[in-house]
Amino acid sequence: MGAFVVLIIVGVSVVYVDANYSQVNRKSSSTSGCDLFQGRWVYDPSYPHYYNSTDCPFIEKIFDCQKNGRPDNHYLNYRWNPSACQLPRLNGAKFLRRFRGKRIMFVGDSLSLNQWQSLTCMLHKALPMANYTLLRTAAVSTFRFPAYDVSLMLSRNAFLVDIVREKAGRVLNLNSISSGNLWKGFDVLIFDTWHWWLHTGRKQPWDFVRYGRHTYKDMNRMEAYEKALITWARWVEANVDPTKTRVFFQGVSPDHMNTSEWGKRNGENCGAETVPAVREKYNGGPHPAEVVLKKVLRRMSLKAVYLLKITGLSQLRKDGHPGGYGYAGHRGMDCTHWCLPGVPDTWNDLLYAALFQK
User: Any idea which residues carry the catalytic annotation?
Assistant: 110, 334, 337
Termini Cα distance of the chain: 37
Which CB contacts under 8 angstroms, 24+ apart, belong to 281-285?
282/315, 282/316, 284/254, 284/258, 284/315
Nearest Cα to Cα of residue 193 among 152, 151, 144, 235: 235
* C-alpha–C-alpha distance, residues 91 and 95, integer Å: 6
- Residue 187: C-alpha distances to residues 47, 102, 152 (Å): 32, 6, 11
Helix (H, G, I), strand (E, B) or coil at 251: coil
Strand partners, 15: 42
Distance CA(139)–CA(129), nearest Å, equals 28
Strand partners of residue 305:
247
Amino acid type, 144: R
With beta carbons less than 8 A apart as the criterion, state whether 245 and 189 touch: yes
Q: What angle do CA 266, 270, 275 make, to 5 degrees?
A: 95
The letter for the amino acid at 54 is T
DSSP assignment of 18-81 equals: -S-HHHH--S-S--TT--TTSEEEEE-TTSPPS--GGG-TT--GGG-TTTTT----GGGGEEEE
- Four-point Cα dihedral 293, 298, 304, 308, nearest 10: 40
Cα 142 from Cα 239, distance rounded (Å): 22
**DSSP tag of 226:** H
